[in-house]
Structure 1
Amino acid sequence: MDIKKYKVEGNEKIELQTFATSEDHGFEEKELIDQLMPESVSKLKELHWKLHAEEKKGIIVVLQAMDAAGKDEAISYIFSNLTAQGLKTTSFQKPSDTELNHDYLWRIRDGLPARGQIGILNRSHYEEVIAPRVHDDLLKDEMIPDNVDKEKIWPIRFRQINDFERHMDENGFKVIKFFFNMSKEEQADRLLERMKNPKKNWEFSFRDVEERKYWDSYQKYFEDMLNNTATKASPWYVLPADDELYSRYIITQVMIDCIESIDPQFPEISEENQEKLDKYIKQLESEKA
């Protein structure tokens, strides 16, 4: 798989509509389910063990999309297979009053990983350059810098986000961002399934349908987000999200590529500790004799 075809690094302006929401990738569903996904997840799990054991680097994973695009399922089918001690998952909803009383990046801090961890941000700081543009009543006066026109705040936020992500990267935390590019028709099908299936009713929110009225606005601002915050150090990957299974496979391949670039290693035991280890091995083996 050539993961570069899904990668946006900011070296050129993109149009979101040129990215497919599904494609003829050449893999059979059975091949993905029985072979490719299990192999990829197994490899990712082994690399994650090394990342966690070494405790030198961390990875921030951003999942951004419209409702029902597959973010939760990606977490369940991919990241839940990794060692829990090295994984941190945080979901972001509408900001609370406490969060609104701080700067818009403040609430992200609790979701950031420690060294040796992968931190999953299910939605993220990118909500703050999307939702308030679709619903301009969400942006209150106290959130706007002094002497800045309301419409000019977005380039400022893009710069601040890029600075924040560069800061994280320079301090040993890779930032990998996935945008689930889903068609409006596919979202309708998934919402209908949630509405009609009693076992999935709990996943449904009336707000999900109401937000469809703003579909075109969301697509416009998602495209602006991609063009203004994709960088070489912190790229976006645009997933053909109508195909959930294939999108998950892309995610695993990107994560494998990311950790391989870090090249973590299991720590080597010192000579002194090796002698102590050998002593205790003999002690425990003698107990079993």
Structure 2
Amino acid sequence: MSRKEVIEVVRQYTEPFRVTKGKNFRLADYDPGDTLGLKMDKKDAADLLRRGADWLAMEQDMLYAQDSWSVLLVFQAMDAAGKDGTIKHVMSGINPQGCDVYSFKQPSAEELSRDFLWRYAMKVPQRGRIGIFNRSYYEEVLVVRTHQELLKAQKLPPKLVGKNIWDERLADIARFEDYLTRQGVIILKFYLNLSYDEQKRRFMDRLDKPDKNWKFSASDVRERRYWDDYMKAYDEAIRATASKNAPWFVVPADNKWFTRLVVAAAIVDAVEKLDLEYPTVSDAQRKDLAAAREELERE
């Protein structure tokens, strides 16, 4: 299969889940259990994922060498949707020297004294690198919106905390992403779309198996009580920030093997569009290389 044919196949798995226009977007229109009718055993799925990871590794090497573009991968999801596993499997072949993963936890005192985007802007990947946000600035319009007592800790002047604050923050995020894309940052945003029932099943699995107990926290169940609030917040976030240059992918997450295939395909497709090449060696550099070869051969 030629490179072009592979890309065409890849896009069959990404286009149904790509969101570039937020108008009329409804999360309810996307099935968390969808596999596009694809039936595959674990071995075949693993083989296809490996091929995608190998291709991505090759593209990353050229991305690093070219030192012009950078890639930012944003992962958002409800608990137990599989963000960590997806990142691990999809990025398995990547050179760690050219990739950074950030998991944003509870903000520090210094971060709370800054604007809400500051700590995220500080971690935007350098040119030639891939950056992964395992949760991101979208938490500021998801968790903080759902638990508005967290907003008080951000020390905003009271008169700036109005009824439109969430719309304002979403507009700020959209402008921030627009700015980054004009600086050569390729942004791909993944919402791993897990169903309510599947989340319960995975929570029970973590409770039933001792080697998975460490993954479980009582706070996970408490957050589950706010499921409808989170779904509404995700609806509005995707609706307000989906764009051609910073698309969302609403990835079905009830079947982990399919989740990983879609994410890998989306990344490969986006990086392929950059038409990356290794830097061309100048005539002067060729002379230096020839001189170095002669010196080594004389030893």
Query: TM-score, structure 2 length as denominator?
Result: 0.91
Of the candidates 267, 274, 282, which is equivalent to residue 270 of structure 1? 282
Corresponding residue number in structure 1 for 2:54: 42
Corresponding residue number in structure 2 for 1:8: 19
Of the candidates 38, 42, 45, which is equivalent to residue 33 of structure 1? 45
Of the candidates 124, 146, 168, which is equivalent to residue 134 of structure 1? 146
Q: Distance in 1 between matches of 2:157 and 2:169?
A: 10
Task: Note if contact 1:32-1:246 (Cα within 8 Å) is conserved in structure 2.
Answer: no
After TM superposition, the runs of 4+ consecutive aligned structure 1 residues lying more than 6 A away are none
Question: Aligned partner of 2:32: which letter?
Answer: T
Q: Distance in 2 between matches of 1:153 and 1:194?
A: 37
Aligned residues: 287
Corresponding residue number in structure 2 for 1:194: 206
Question: Aligned partner of 1:16: which letter?
Answer: L
Corresponding residue number in structure 2 for 1:65: 77
Alignment of 1:236-275 (within 5 A): 236-275=248-287
Q: Deviations for 1:202-231, whole angstroms, at most 9, x for unmatched residues?
A: 221111111111111111111111101111
Q: Distance in 1 between matches of 2:174 and 2:46?
A: 39
Q: Distance in 2 between matches of 1:161 and 1:130?
A: 13
- The answer on 1:102 being equivalent to 2:111 is no
Of 135-144 and 83-92, more deviation after overlay is shown by: 135-144
Q: Percent identity of the aligned residues?
A: 34
Question: Aligned partner of 2:30: which letter?
Answer: F
Deviation at 1:190, TM superposition (A): 1.3
Q: Deviations for 1:46-97, whole angstroms, at most 9, x for unmatched residues?
A: 1111111100000111000111111111111112420112101100112222
Corresponding residue number in structure 1 for 2:181: 169
**Structure 2 unaligned spans of 5+:** 1-11
Alignment of 1:83-232 (within 5 A): 83-140=95-152, 143-144=155-156, 147-232=159-244
Deviation at 1:19, TM superposition (A): 0.2
Q: Distance in 1 between matches of 2:99 and 2:35?
A: 33
Of the candidates 267, 270, 284, which is equivalent to residue 296 of structure 2? 284
Query: TM-score, structure 1 length as denominator?
Result: 0.94
Relative to structure 1, the CA distance from residue 50 to residue 142 in structure 2 (aligned partners, 3 Å threshold; closer, same or farther) is closer
Relative to structure 1, the CA distance from residue 283 to residue 7 in structure 2 (aligned partners, 3 Å threshold; closer, same or farther) is same
Q: Deviations for 1:34-56, whole angstroms, at most 9, x for unmatched residues?
A: 43111111111111111111000
Task: Note if contact 1:3-1:250 (Cα within 8 Å) is conserved in structure 2.
Answer: yes
Relative to structure 1, the CA distance from residue 159 to residue 109 in structure 2 (aligned partners, 3 Å threshold; closer, same or farther) is same
Deviation at 1:31, TM superposition (A): 5.5
Of 2-11 and 71-80, more deviation after overlay is shown by: 2-11
Corresponding residue number in structure 1 for 2:7: none
**Structure 1 unaligned spans of 5+:** none
Task: Note if contact 2:53-2:92 (Cα within 8 Å) is conserved in structure 1.
Answer: no
Corresponding residue number in structure 2 for 1:234: 246
Q: Secondary structure at the match of 1:139?
A: helix
Q: Secondary structure at the match of 2:276?
A: coil
Q: Distance in 1 between matches of 2:174 and 2:44?
A: 35
Q: Secondary structure at the match of 1:151?
A: coil
